Amino acid sequence: MNNVVLIAGAGPVGLVLAAELRRFGVPVRVVEKEAKLAEHSRALFMWTRTLELLEPSGATAALVAEGEKLHVSNIFAGSKLIGSVDFAGIESQYPYALLLPQARTEQILTEHLAGLGVTVERGAELAGFTADANGVTATLHHPGGKSEAVRAFYLIGCDGGGSFVRKCLGLSSAASPHQSAWYLADVELRGGNFARTELNSFWHEDGFMAIFPVPGGRFRIIANAGRNAKDFTPGTPPLDKIQTILDQRGPGGVTAMNPVWTHAFQVEEYNVASYRAGRVFLAGDAAHVHNPVGAQGLNMGIHDSINLAWKLALAYRGVANRELLLDSYTIERQAVAERVVANLGRAAQAATVRNPTMQFARNLLGNIYFGLAPGRRQVAETISEVSFSYDHSPINGIEDHALPAPGPGQRVAVPAGQPPFGGGPVPRFALLADPGARVEHLRQEFAALLEPELRPTLSPRCIWLVRPDGYVAAMCLREDIGIIEDYLRGYVPTAEDLAAL
């Protein structure tokens, strides 16, 4: 049997998944049907949590070295400022959004993957597959018409919104997909005085609009067709169309000039009910597509890859409760995508209220909410994705609300000067505890699953066990260390588990 993991699609999600698996010693092949990298950049934003999650692989440093940092998000109704959120307060080594064109992100990730010894097979298309209990047999079409049959341990469809893998599996959205229409323009702006470190969102009864910097001195305007959707035509809209939207929804006195890209496109928002069918998985846009308002799609897809990679790497080497561990990927990530859909839906509703009394009430409530530090903090932590958690995961340890946070499924912020979670050549859990005889015994018994160094505890009363992707696996009082022992024992493969590989 060929023990390779086959990844279909070398967008950002497939590239990150391939690099993480390779780093953990899993052989991968990445096939990409397009011969060349994309020219235009859809995504620009990489949020705090994404930069944290890419740090152990070493990719973050290369991305940060090239991107521009965005520190503040403003919300306006016309020229009236409703509120501002400063990302500086986020407890992270990356308290900002990184602006980097997706095409450049993909180049950097492709080079990162090449550095790990994996070359993307460009021009190679996944053309069919059948899965059984032990693996997947896939058909690849190579340039020049050559076909190849590949036997793979697992197949991951990172093949974007039109996913071939998703269609073959017959997986559909949990709720009816929602269609929306959008305009985008990368332009120079005269007037408006927009700072190059700020995102500006405009609420308007006709629809939503955002303006933010794109590297190279320009700004991107992105707006939904909203109430004017009947006039919408996909393709390349004239600059006049963008100017009309800017005049209607913006602060006034702003002129768009010298566009390098104008684009009118439709988005079908969906979230597939399950991201797994046996040996086949979906990740990124193949599993969920969000409207571009929150700039979350690429980020969410990368989080899928990070979540799946350590689980697949353990499954590849042999682990107890393999099926539960792999099922936790779809349970955890599908729930987060559902929350993002709900958040973006609420934001869109608030942005486009029509009734003047309701608009007045919304603006007043917005002023009050953004005027309070907890409100601003909640918004910053949601947009930057650091508050996402896996609260109802089947692989969470016992929850005890009397104990200090973070609890099972919640993110653990890495203090300055400490290495990120999940570094190294195999996935390992981190133990946060004061030293002691029982802790030492635990470290020796589960040395294969634990980082070699103990990390400082977050409270001397308690012990935390943190997953390779930086979320709490289990935690307990020091005297209840048996809880952590039992949790780790749940990962140790038996001879039967190893034979089932």
Ligand X SMILES: Cc1cc2nc3c(=O)[nH]c(=O)nc-3n(C[C@H](O)[C@H](O)[C@H](O)COP(=O)(O)OP(=O)(O)OC[C@H]3O[C@@H](n4cnc5c(N)ncnc54)[C@H](O)[C@@H]3O)c2cc1C
**Cα–Cα distance, 492 to 501 (Å, whole number):** 14
Answer for which of 75, 108, 152, 184 binds ligand X (CB under 6 A) is: 184
**Contact call for residue 45 and ligand X (CB under 6 A):** yes
Percentages of the chain per state (helix, strand, coil), in multiples of 5: 35, 25, 40
Closest CA to 391 of 377, 405, 376, 375: 405
Site stretch for ligand X (CB under 6 A), options 71-79, 278-286, 311-319, 335-343: 278-286
Least CB distance to ligand X at residue 10 (A): 6
Site stretch for ligand X (CB under 6 A), options 156-164, 341-349, 355-363, 455-463: 156-164
Answer for which of 4, 5, 12, 276 binds ligand X (CB under 6 A) is: 12
| 72-77 vs 198-203, strand pairing mode | parallel
Least CB distance to ligand X at residue 279 (A): 17
**Cα–Cα distance, 321 to 315 (Å, whole number):** 9
Site stretch for ligand X (CB under 6 A), options 58-66, 143-151, 157-165, 195-203: 157-165
Answer for which of 57, 73, 92, 102 binds ligand X (CB under 6 A) is: 102
Closest CA to 239 of 182, 186, 292, 202: 186
Least CB distance to ligand X at residue 488 (A): 33
Site stretch for ligand X (CB under 6 A), options 32-40, 391-399, 407-415, 453-461: 32-40
Please list the residues that pair with 77 across neighbouring strands. Answer: 80, 203
Which residues inside 293-352 make contact with ligand X, applying CB under 6 A? 295-299, 301
**Contact call for residue 158 and ligand X (CB under 6 A):** yes
Least CB distance to ligand X at residue 450 (A): 32
Q: What are phi and psi of 205, to 5 degrees?
A: -65, -25
Site stretch for ligand X (CB under 6 A), options 76-84, 288-296, 428-436, 466-474: 288-296
* Minimum CB distance to ligand X smaller for 102 or for 330: 102
Least CB distance to ligand X at residue 47 (A): 7
Least CB distance to ligand X at residue 31 (A): 5
**Cα–Cα distance, 179 to 173 (Å, whole number):** 13
**Cα–Cα distance, 426 to 100 (Å, whole number):** 29
**Contact call for residue 33 and ligand X (CB under 6 A):** yes
* Minimum CB distance to ligand X smaller for 102 or for 200: 102
Give first-to-last CA distance, the chain, whole Å.
Answer: 11
**Cα–Cα distance, 422 to 451 (Å, whole number):** 9
**Residues 160-179 as x/- pattern, contact with ligand X by CB under 6 A:** x---x---------------
Closest CA to 174 of 328, 345, 334, 308: 334
Contact indicator for 434, 478 with CB cutoff of 8 Å: yes
Least CB distance to ligand X at residue 239 (A): 17
* Minimum CB distance to ligand X smaller for 52 or for 125: 125
**Contact call for residue 14 and ligand X (CB under 6 A):** yes
Amino acid identity at 201: S
**Contact call for residue 8 and ligand X (CB under 6 A):** yes
Least CB distance to ligand X at residue 259 (A): 14
Which residues inside 441-500 make contact with ligand X, applying CB under 6 A? none
Site stretch for ligand X (CB under 6 A), options 30-38, 186-194, 228-236, 242-250: 30-38
Contact indicator for 281, 8 with CB cutoff of 8 Å: no
Least CB distance to ligand X at residue 473 (A): 27
Q: At which residue do the structure tokens 């393999």 appear?
A: 322
**Contact call for residue 44 and ligand X (CB under 6 A):** yes
Answer for which of 2, 25, 34, 252 binds ligand X (CB under 6 A) is: 34
**Contact call for residue 259 and ligand X (CB under 6 A):** no
* Minimum CB distance to ligand X smaller for 21 or for 431: 21
Least CB distance to ligand X at residue 16 (A): 8
Sheet containing 462-466: give its strands across: 430-432, 462-466, 472-477
* Minimum CB distance to ligand X smaller for 12 or for 56: 12
* Minimum CB distance to ligand X smaller for 9 or for 56: 9
Instruction: Locate 60 and state its tokens.
Output: 């973050």
- Segment holding 498, helix H or strand E: helix 495-499
**Contact call for residue 138 and ligand X (CB under 6 A):** no
Closest CA to 162 of 285, 3, 33, 248: 285
Torsion of CA 164, 170, 171, 172, to 10 degrees: 100
Render the burial of 80-96: b for 16+ CB within 10 Å, e for the rest.
Answer: eebbbbebeebebbbbb
Q: At which residue do the structure tokens 């740090």 appear?
A: 55
List contacts with ligand X (CB under 6 A).
8-14, 31-34, 42-45, 102, 125-126, 158-160, 164, 184, 284-286, 292, 295-299, 301
